[in-house]
């Protein structure tokens, strides 16, 4: 992660490293940065159920909208899921730090 990206990311994190707000439409370009950060909280090669995904997201943000984050992670290609939504996993798009 470049220094500029780290500075932008810090703007969205609290002192404990949790995402404190979702970037507004005006700052839409920062959404992938947040999604990448959240995706890095998952383990490559591990399959998660929806409840496990929600727990990780709840632990890593403070604005109480884990469904938005889960949906965005999936729709933007950072995680994938089975057709019935029972299993989730990281995709190749995710950079691991």
- Tens of pLDDT along 40-62? 999 999 999 999 999 999 999 99
Contact indicator for 92, 50 with CB cutoff of 8 Å: no
pLDDT digits (tens, 9 = 90+) for 65-97: 999 999 999 999 999 999 999 999 999 765 544
pTM listed for this prediction: 0.89
């Amino acid at each position: 992660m470049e220094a500029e990206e780290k500075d932008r990311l810090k703007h969205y994190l609290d002192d404990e490293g949790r995402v404190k707000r979702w970037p507004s439409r005006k700052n839409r370009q920062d959404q992938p940065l947040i999604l990448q950060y959240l995706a890095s909280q998952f383990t490559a090669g591990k399959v998660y159920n929806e409840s496990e995904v929600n727990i990780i997201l709840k632990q890593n943000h403070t604005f109480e909208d884990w469904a938005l984050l889960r949906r965005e992670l999936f729709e933007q290609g950072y995680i994938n899921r089975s057709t019935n939504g029972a299993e989730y996993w990281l995709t190749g798009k995710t950079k691991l730090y």
